[in-house]
Structure 1
Amino acid sequence: MEPAERVFAREFNAARHTVESGGALYVVTPTGAWCRRVFIVGTLTGRRGSGDVMQARVADPTDTFRVSADWQNPDAVETLGYIEPPAFVAVTGRASLMGSGPRAYTTVAAEAITVVDRTARDLWTQRTAGVTLDRLEALERGLSGGGDERVATTIGLYGTTEEDIREMAEAVRVALESLRPDMVAGDVAPRIGREILLAALGARGIAIDDAVTLGVRLGLSARETRRALEELIAAGECYQPTPDTVKLL
């Protein structure tokens, strides 16, 4: 069985394209997730229906997934019928894009649904933030001519820009704000700072003070922002044409 992708609801709902590959149809999201199946964890906020068909809404820290369950997966239908909202749930299911153009919307056809706790939701949020940043890094390389065929296809479909990458990195930061104080985000915050700064630098560069201001405004600490800048310089991805500015190579 094909692995299930992890995506935030905001990103999944922004998907407007499908691509056939290897005889399978994938929903392609703006960060470059190619979704045939997805694994989501969030709050079941509502459900309706009965018998063989049920509809539900599952909210993560960024937006809400549309979830359905039908006769093809009777256990998912029955299980959903027993869960009273609100409740934390984990859902594995098939990704679909319904309609086309501005009215298109995504859905998840549940294959399995289980009740989980807040810790499971927070761990999913952390892990999903990490893989989303991996995809954003791949897009950043793709804008410079690197990356694989799927990255190039994603950029072509969505016309991805550095500003888009910065906005998507900001959405990850917002998602992490929902974590309990005792949940440690590891190295995710510096990676968010890295993606925001890479997108902000552009071809013209930016004053270091302006870069720190941007990072702080987006929720990073000044220390995290400066650390991200130092890592970019050490990795050879940017340089300092003058002592108080930094620019992409």
Structure 2
Amino acid sequence: MAEREMAYRIFACEFNDSRFQVSSASDAPGQADLHAPNFLVTTAGAKVNRLFIAGVITEVEDIGSQKGGEKELWRARVSDPTGTFTIYSGNYQPEASVFLSTVEVPSFVTIVGKVRSYEPGDGSVFVSLRPEEINHADESIRNRWMVDTAELTLDRLDIFDEALSSGLSGTDLLDHLSLKNVPSNIAEGICIALDHYHTDRDYIRGLKIQVRDALLSIGSSLSASPGGGLADIEQSVMVMLHEMNQGKGVEYAVLVREAGEKGIPAELVEKAVRSLLSDGSLYEPRVGFFRAID
């Protein structure tokens, strides 16, 4: 029986930027090759078959009745502070499908799932996860996942910087990274990313900024104290969202107008909304509308 691939941790922004898959199938012919795992290689060099993610489930939809689809198929969105993972659960994930059919939205969750990609034929590629296991979580678990994922991501990005500085490529780069004791899966992923995506320093720098901003967002939420500046504005925004919500969220323009009547400037509302989105206290059920997590 084939050994199960490790579940890696990456942020949604990196996952959604990635399009290229490779197979671990050997050159030898035979039935075993049919079961060789496929790996998504991310733009920043992660080589993943399975992922472990944590975030806020913000949307669940039963799409099994759509023509040509599976008889039972659920689509869900799970957000971390950098973006949103798309989840599909169907006939072969019965426990996950039951979970999605009954989960209260929004809720904190953790998911272990296999990476999938879909190419509709127009040159685009869509990536998603098929859940193997999905569980309820809380903010502290999500924050712990973020800290661990940030550490792993930033370490890998530092290795990517080293690869770019070397000026090497292909087997020469692989040998160079091996001599520096870089794990083989990371070295291979970086070499493939450079060859396929031509990832440059600007992308790596931008990804580092997104990761650090995500960490700052949970750091501020953990350290904020009552009566302290932005924390007061955030509390006021949450109160207004609860009071004004009619079940479908509150339009941002309406929120800004209401806050203005209470003496809260629009720029502070914007900062508060960004912070509350980052720490999972509210979400965006549709573009331009916000809803507080109860």
TM-score > 0.5, shorter chain as reference = yes
CA contact (8 A) 2:41 2:192 kept: no
Query: Are 1:171 and 2:204 matched, yes or no?
Result: no
- Matches of 1:164 and 1:82 in 2, distance apart? 39
Match of 1:122 among 138, 143, 164: 143
1:8 corresponds in structure 2 to: 11
CA contact (8 A) 1:10 1:63 kept: yes
- Matches of 2:14 and 2:211 in 1, distance apart? 10
- RMSD between superposed Cα atoms in Å: 1.9
Post-superposition offset of 1:181: 3.6
Cα distance 1:141–1:180, how it changes in 2: closer, same or farther (>3 A)?
Answer: closer
Cα distance 1:101–1:16, how it changes in 2: closer, same or farther (>3 A)?
Answer: farther
Q: Which runs of 4+ in 1 moved over 4 A?
A: none
- Matches of 1:135 and 1:32 in 2, distance apart? 8
Which is worse superposed, 47-56 or 24-33? 47-56
1:95 corresponds in structure 2 to: 115
1:191-235 C-alpha deviation (Å, 9 max, x unpaired): xxxxxxxxxxxxxxxxxxxxxxxxxxxxxxxxxxxxxxxxxxxxx
- Matches of 2:17 and 2:100 in 1, distance apart? 26
TM-score, normalised with respect to structure 1: 0.69
The 5 Å alignment of 1:67-82 reads: 67-82=87-102
TM-score, normalised with respect to structure 2: 0.59
Q: Which runs of 5+ in 2 are unaligned?
A: 26-35, 65-70, 169-175, 178-186, 224-294
1:58-77 C-alpha deviation (Å, 9 max, x unpaired): 01001111001111121111
1:135 corresponds in structure 2 to: 156
| Amino acid aligned to 1:89 | V
- Matches of 1:131 and 1:63 in 2, distance apart? 18
- Matches of 2:122 and 2:55 in 1, distance apart? 27
Q: Which runs of 5+ in 1 are unaligned?
A: 185-249
Bigger relative CO (Cα 8 Å, ≥ 6 apart)? 2
1:44-99 C-alpha deviation (Å, 9 max, x unpaired): 00101167321100010011110011111211111121211000010111101211
- Matches of 2:74 and 2:197 in 1, distance apart? 32
Q: Larger Rg: 1 or 2?
A: 2
CA contact (8 A) 1:139 1:155 kept: no
1:247 corresponds in structure 2 to: none
- Aligned-pair identity (%): 33
